[in-house]
């Protein structure tokens, strides 16, 4: 069993769709792919992709577009790919350009979609 080393736990905002735009280093072209958020925390987000990644994009920058579930406000999150599992799931780390207030707002709205501990 792995030890959880984070200050705040991961949670699963069930049903939250993600639209990902990947900007790989040249000469590759921008890639766009959709998926579902598996879980998220204050440091990153894991997304199950609707289609497998076609290229190795370990060093790519990206933007994740979400629509906040409560307010309907579109949000764009910037980050880097942290890891890819079987080209079907990727872990993404948020870029430093997001303030703590911005992440608080995102987490506050998305945690409402997560099942309560007694429901799991």
Positions of E strands within the chain = 17-23, 31-40, 44-49, 61-67, 74-85, 89-94
The pLDDT value recorded for residue 35 is: 93
The predicted-structure confidence for 89-105, as pLDDT tens digits, reads as follows 888 888 887 778 877 87
**Measured distance CA(29)–CA(26) in Å, rounded:** 7
What confidence category does residue 1 fall into, taking pLDDT thresholds of 50, 70 and 90? very low
Beta strands at 44-49 and 31-40: parallel, antiparallel or unpaired: antiparallel
Domains and CATH numbers, the chain: 17-113 (2.40.10.220)
The answer to whether the predicted template modeling score (pTM) of the entire model surpasses 0.95 is no
The predicted-structure confidence for 41-83, as pLDDT tens digits, reads as follows 888 889 999 998 777 776 678 888 988 777 788 888 888 888 8
Q: What does the CA dihedral 106, 109, 112, 117 come to, rounded to 10 degrees?
A: 20
């Amino acid at each position: 069993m792995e030890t959880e080393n984070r200050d705040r736990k991961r949670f699963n905002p069930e049903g939250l769709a993600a639209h990902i735009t990947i900007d790989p280093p040249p000469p590759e072209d921008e890639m766009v792919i959709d998926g579902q958020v598996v879980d998220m925390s204050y440091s990153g987000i894991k997304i199950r992709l609707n289609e497998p990644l076609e290229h190795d994009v370990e060093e790519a920058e990206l933007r994740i577009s979400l629509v906040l579930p409560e307010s309907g406000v579109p949000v764009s999150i910037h980050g880097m790919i942290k890891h890819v599992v079987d080209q079907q799931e990727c872990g993404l780390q948020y870029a430093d350009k997001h303030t703590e207030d911005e992440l608080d707002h995102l987490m506050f709205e998305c945690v409402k979609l997560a099942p309560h501990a007694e429901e799991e």
